[in-house]
Structure formats: C-alpha cells, structure tokens
Amino acid sequence: MITKLSLLLICIGVLVGCAGPFKYHDPKIPHRGKDGFLNNYDNSPKESVLKWYWERWTTSFPEDDPAGAPTVTADMNAINHPAGLTITWLGHSAMLVQLDGMNILTDPSLSERVSPFSFIGPKRYGKLPIEIEHLPAIDVVVISHNHYDHLDLPSLRKLNMLNQGKTRFLVPLGNKELLAKEGIINVAEYDWWTGEKVGAVQFTFAPAQHWTTRTRFDLNQTLWGGWMIKGATRQVYFVGDTGYSPDFRDIRQRLGAVDVALIPIGAYAPRWFMQKQHNDPAEAVLIHQDLGAQFSLPIHWGTFKLSDEPMSEPPVKLKEALQSAKLPSTVFPVLNRGETFSFEKASKQGK
C-alpha cells in the first residue's frame, strides 16, 4: 500500500526540470526533441500528478488482498528443460522468456520495493515465485524504460553478479551510463527500430506511448519502448509500459505479426490521469489485435500497488473486453505468478 507519507515524499519530487541541453536532440529525428524524447503520436501536456495525489490523500479505498495475484509453485523441471517457446511470469512486468536455447528476462524488478528508497514506496504483494538465485543462467535482460518498477538496479546488480558479467543487458537510449555506475558493463543501449542479435535471437527496440524519469532533473532524458524478440521460427513482443496508440500497428507493419505479446493490463485508474501512459484491459485487447498476436499474456498487474483500481480487477476487465471483442479467453490467458506458458501446448489445444 502506498502510504500518505509515501505520497508526500513523491509529491516533493515531482517538480521536474532538465539539468541542461538535451544531448540526444536531433532535428532530423522527430522523437528526439529539443528538451527530451517525444512520443510519436501524443505529446500533449499530462494531467496533474499533484491533483491525483491529492485525490488519493483525501479518498478512502478498500484494502487489497496482501497476497496480490495468485502464485503457484514454479515448474522448475519445465524451466530448466524448456521445450520450444516457453514464458514464465515472475510478477509485474518480469517474464522469463525461453526461446532457441536462450534465457531472456524482461524488466526484472524482483526487489521487495520499487522505489528510490529501500524503506518506503510500493511494496511487493505476495512472494516471488522464484528467487533470483534459482533462475537459470540469464543470457539477456531487456529493459523497457527507467521507472523504478521496470529498471530495478538491485535486481540487475544481482543478475550481473550471479552470471559473472556474462548476461547481456539491452536498454533504451540514455540508460547505459546508469548501469555502468553499478558495475554492469555488458550493456548496449538502443534507439527505436535498432537492436542487435545475441546468439540466434534478434532484439529490436520499438516505440511505445510513455515517458521517463528517475530524479527531479531527468524528465524524458532517456527513451522508453518495447522489445521485439525474434527467434528462428517464433517472435515475442514485450510491450513495456504504454498508453494505447497507433504505434502497435506500425510495429506489426515493420516487424511482422507476433506469436506471443506480453501486454500490460494494470495501473490504469483513474483514467483521467492514466490514459496517456497506461492502457487499460480493453486497450490491451486492441494492442493484441494491432500486433496480430496469436496469443497474448497479461503483465503489469497484481504485484505492486501503483494506481487506484483494485489489484484483482484487471483480469476481470480483460475477460469482459475479450467477450466484447468476440475473442476466446484462450488467446489471452491469465497466468498465475510462477506459471509457465508453453506456446506449443497452447497452439495444439487451440486446434
């Protein structure tokens, strides 16, 4: 639960400014603005975060289940001996993607809190289904943007240490220096539509509708987006954080339809404040359709209390949205934390 003291500390830090000229400014590249990175489709002023914090300060909300999203015992045999494309939800936006012999982690925020402070800020609901030490050796970590619930330095330091610096970290433009200060040097940073091949897997960074900041002085000084993870025969798209935008039709046009999309469904209320930065479950279904996904898996819910909807509401709204779109629930299954999705099994069951 975010306490009133938490909100007060956050409010003190939201008067954001730029420390100097934006070093990535390029008039030939539309999203590299004069003062910071820009979205492709909507750069209108955001609603007041202070107004939202005041609403939260003065409004009572029912208590959430402290366990958060349901958690199951992970099938470590399946994880240690993956067959085909398998994806395990670790909570929030952290997914273990196993593809073509590679172990890939998305936004592994695996700490007890997602905050600049160890003693305050959003705390994990429930327990990690798999401790970091018990994960298979991670080949690649992809980061979508620098918000604390997505770029968690303690988790990244531990992953780097456990694999003795062999893990490759792929981050949005502007974040390499942050990791280097933590002793993480096997890092590459990318602009939209660029990336690299690691082993047999191609990683391409792509746009989203969002924003970034970690301090009072770095608003939109680093980029945000999602990652296309393309293997020999399958490709997975990790959306990151986003509001709904035409970006996903652009991604499909440029990079092709995806086999599995990892799409956020939580942190969407109140809509007057969240709509430009976090899609809701109905928009998650639109993203699924825009990407031409065969399957999608919901992320970004049930783990950290970041917004006003009940923690258990997003899957309920997702089911309603799928029914409205006349899509079967099997194309967008809700995983328990610790549960592993097998693309091959799901494809056979769908035939």
DSSP 147-165: STTT--HHHHHHHHHHTTT
Q: What is the pTM of this model?
A: 0.93
* pLDDT at res. 60: 73
* pLDDT at res. 15: 41
Mean pLDDT over 29-42 rounds to 98
Rounded to the nearest integer, the mean pLDDT of the chain is: 93
The Cβ of residue 46 has, within 10 Å, a number of other Cβ atoms equal to 11
pLDDT in tens, 286-301: 999 999 999 999 999 9
* pLDDT at res. 65: 82
Helix (H) or strand (E) holding 321: helix 313-324
Asked if pLDDT for residue 177 goes beyond 80, the answer is yes
Q: How confident is the model at residue 216 (pLDDT cuts 50, 70, 90)?
A: confident
* pLDDT at res. 351: 54
* pLDDT at res. 273: 94
Minimum mean pLDDT range among 32-41, 52-61, 84-93: 52-61
Using only C-alpha atoms, the chain has a radius of gyration, in whole angstroms, of 19
Mean pLDDT over 41-70 rounds to 83
Beta bridge partners, 262, equal 238, 297
CA distances from 336 to 62, 74, 199 (A): 23, 10, 30
Mean pLDDT over 67-86 rounds to 95
Q: Any idea which architecture 4-349 has in CATH?
A: 4-Layer Sandwich (3.60)
